[in-house]
Structure 1
Amino acid sequence: MKVNYRHCVRILQSLLITSSLFYCDAAFASADSHLKQDVTTLTSTQFYGRKTNTIGAKRAADYIASRLTSLGYEVQEQTFQYPATFYQKATARNIIATKPSACTQCKKIIFTAHYDHLGQRGTKLYPGANDNASGVAALLYLAAYFADKPHQNQLMFVATDAEENGLHGSDYLVSQLNSADIALNINLDMLVVNKRKPRIYAFLDGQSIAQYKTVITGLSDENITFFATSSSARLNRLFDLNVDWRRASDHYSFAKAGVPYIYFGMGHDKHHHQPSDTLEHIDFRLFEHAVSKIAEFVSALTR
């Protein structure tokens, strides 16, 4: 069912329903339940924290591949190796989903979200709900959203592995592609929205900030603010951190190849790389609203 969100909002406003969040519950029930189901599944104990080169990561990859296949995509497992220790290599796998496009000369928009996390350390389990089950769930949401919609670009959805160990999955992915064929990378990493300060931050390269900043900030509404920047210093001032946001996630692999990128995330999370990064901290309605806004933005790109 195609849902006109703005029409839903107008109906609610016309009825003078006041709330801190305006949602059309019935319309978004299916999407919201899938987001919650995907995050709940990926953070469950059977995935053991999804550490690369473990049975947990293999199960996560299989789950993601199954979800993408069910949406009608052609799914490929891209296996690669990277140095894990001084003497040994580890095996990892990216999951790549595409659909045939009538426009063979059109450039690609590549969506990425890493599915690996820290696994188990002693008796402690690191579920990685925000980092980055949230990004994978958003990737699957967007894949579903665009599964049957016409678009002027070739869309590729990639769940990357071994991001936590050094962006190895995205590095390998980019090495197998012609960067000249890529219009844009949209990287999804840590998308849980802070309820006290509901913002999504978009970190862009200099070329993309000039092109997309107005559109991204225009996604803001009474529920959530979208903030776009290409300055690490500006983000660090907001969070009192010292992070090179250009290198912070898989978009850096595209940046090194000269590919424009947009990294969507929530910024700083106090539960980052902690056992407390669990789904209990996720407001799924706000999360779904943020992802639907990103879908709205991508729709404008692909018309």
Structure 2
Amino acid sequence: MSLFTGVLACGAEDGSLRAGQVAVDPDSFVAGDSIQILEDLRILSHDSLEGRQTGTQGGLLTQEYIREGFEAAGLTVPPTGFIQPFEFRGRRDTTQVTQGANVVGMVPGQSPELGAIVLTAHFDHLGIRAPRPGTPSEAEGDSIFNGADDNASGTVAVMSMARYFVHHPPRHTIVFAAVDAEEMGLRGSQAFVDAGWPEVMVLNVNLDMLARSDSLLFAAGPFHYPHLLPILETVQGRPPVVLRFGHDQPGVEGVQNWTGSSDHRPFHTKGIPFVYFGVEDHPDYHQASDEFERVNPVFYLNSIRTVLAAVLALDAGVG
């Protein structure tokens, strides 16, 4: 744990937001936080975490790293604590019980009666397994699925936005939930929704894969919740990221429907509106080659700027 604590302290000295500093807008904030962002991404996609699989030592170390990050940011501890454990049975072998845990913090809203916006990103990945035959990872003998884009990138973005909102209080209460066991069937987000806290959730913003594109970032969800579209359109023209709506409509030929593909699904099933930010699949998706060195850092930082601007617009525009 001393390594993690040192990294967090070093990152704050080298450019992340400190108490008393003011970030005028998402661009200036992310510029100041960029060293911490990229260091967090490097750590969470390092071989030492062994692919962050749910129920493993690497998964536990990841939980603790995120908890330390939330605590260092100054997030308010929820009633159930930063670490919210859950367990689930296997889909094939129902006698097998796996322990998981979500890491959750919050920033109370200036108008708490408006309800809560929940920011989610899954931190788990696929662990250690045999690489796909014929891939470069097989040739290199690489069996650790580090999941840099999927989804260390979304987790680190949530951690960064926690640092922002601690010093820039929102209208709504914002809950920051790093959820576990997405790769095993959205188990962490389902456990979060089933727990019934916070009582009033007005929106889920889910981040899953933000770091592997040249310019294109998708926002799925407005097809189902059209009242969100004009709010999101206010940030659509922010260069250099091209924010495109889609991947949320059934029956579009040649286009994947992401409505049920990530941790926004349990919210949507319960009738809670969602926006899912992410990039399309790439050759390293669910491969051992999804590593820190393959991330596009310029695009990644710009995508965080865009998502942060969108969250600010949603906080202002959602009733």
TM-score (norm 1): 0.85
1:199 equivalent to 2:207? Answer: no
Question: Unpaired runs of 5+ in structure 2?
Answer: 1-20, 131-141
- Whether the 8 Å CA contact 2:121–2:178 is kept in 1: the answer is yes
Distance 1:4 1:233, change over 3 A: farther
- Tell me how far 1:262 sits from its aligned partner: 0.5
Which of 209, 225, 237 is the matching residue for 2:242?
Answer: 225
Q: Which residue number in structure 1 is paired with residue 204 of structure 2?
A: 185
Write the distance in 1 (CA, Å) between the matches of 2:125 and 2:190: 17
SS at match of 1:297: helix
One-letter amino acid matched to 1:184: L
Which of 34, 37, 40 is the matching residue for 1:35?
Answer: 37
Write the distance in 2 (CA, Å) between the matches of 1:179 and 1:156: 8
Write the distance in 2 (CA, Å) between the matches of 1:286 and 1:2: 24
Q: Which residue number in structure 1 is paired with residue 128 of structure 2?
A: 120
Distance 1:144 1:205, change over 3 A: same
| Number of residue equivalences | 277
Distance 1:28 1:88, change over 3 A: closer
Q: Which residue number in structure 2 is paired with residue 214 of structure 1?
A: 230
Distance 1:179 1:203, change over 3 A: farther
- Tell me how far 1:98 sits from its aligned partner: 1.3
Structure 1 residue ranges, 4+ long, deviating more than 6 angstroms after superposition = none
Q: Which residue number in structure 2 is paired with residue 261 of structure 1?
A: 274
Query: What pairs up with 1:128-167 in 2 under 5 angstroms?
Result: 128-167=147-186
Which of 248, 254, 275 is the matching residue for 2:288?
Answer: 275
Query: What pairs up with 1:277-292 in 2 under 5 angstroms?
Result: 277-292=290-305
Write the distance in 2 (CA, Å) between the matches of 1:231 and 1:170: 22
- Whether the 8 Å CA contact 2:146–2:291 is kept in 1: the answer is yes
One-letter amino acid matched to 2:219: A
- Tell me how far 1:297 sits from its aligned partner: 1.5
Q: Which residue number in structure 2 is paired with residue 86 of structure 1?
A: 94
Question: Unpaired runs of 5+ in structure 1?
Answer: 7-22
One-letter amino acid matched to 2:242: T
Q: Which residue number in structure 1 is paired with residue 103 of structure 2?
A: 95
- Whether the 8 Å CA contact 2:222–2:228 is kept in 1: the answer is no
- Whether the 8 Å CA contact 2:112–2:171 is kept in 1: the answer is no
- Tell me how far 1:29 sits from its aligned partner: 4.3
Identical aligned pairs, as a percentage? 27
- The alignment's C-alpha RMSD in Å is 2.2
One-letter amino acid matched to 1:139: V
Write the distance in 1 (CA, Å) between the matches of 2:312 and 2:119: 13
- Whether the 8 Å CA contact 2:88–2:99 is kept in 1: the answer is yes
